[in-house]
Amino acid sequence: MPPLTALDLIPTRTKRGNQVYTLCAMLAHNLARELQMSARMAERRTTPKRETLWRFLELGTIRQRLIHRAGMLLRPQGRLTLRMSANEAVQSEMTAFLEALAPQLVHHAA
């Protein structure tokens, strides 16, 4: 059976609650797509069938790769640091996503 998506169920018994839930699911989807487009170069050219230029990961895959990771937050010399296992593939993917976010974070902090 395929995995459930956020819109496969009705979470509340009220219209407003369901509307908020749907908007949150749509926002999460759009943010995940924008993050991937910012972190990677387009993999394809435009095609007659108008396929997407990127091959997108599912939101669950991004969650597994970036958030569900074993690690420890430490504060050596007073600076917050995330310590994770030495895995080059994870490090390069995490770095690519963080570098893609860095310009937006600096812009909004000013």
Question: Is the Cβ–Cβ distance between 97 and 66 less than 8 Å?
Answer: yes
105: pLDDT strictly greater than 80: no
**pLDDT tens digits for range 29-68:** 898 888 888 888 888 787 788 788 888 888 888 888 877 8
All residues at 6 or more sequence positions from 26 whose CB lies less than 8 Å from its CB, including other chains: none
What does the buried/exposed string (b/e) look like for 33-55 if buried means 16 or more CB atoms within 10 Å of the residue's CB? Answer: eebbeebbeeeeeeeeeeeeeee
Residue 80 has pLDDT above 80, yes or no: yes
| CA 37 centroid distance within chain | 10
Question: Which segments within the chain are labelled E, that is strand?
Answer: 71-74, 81-84
Q: What is the pTM of this model?
A: 0.61
Has residue 107 got a pLDDT over 70? no
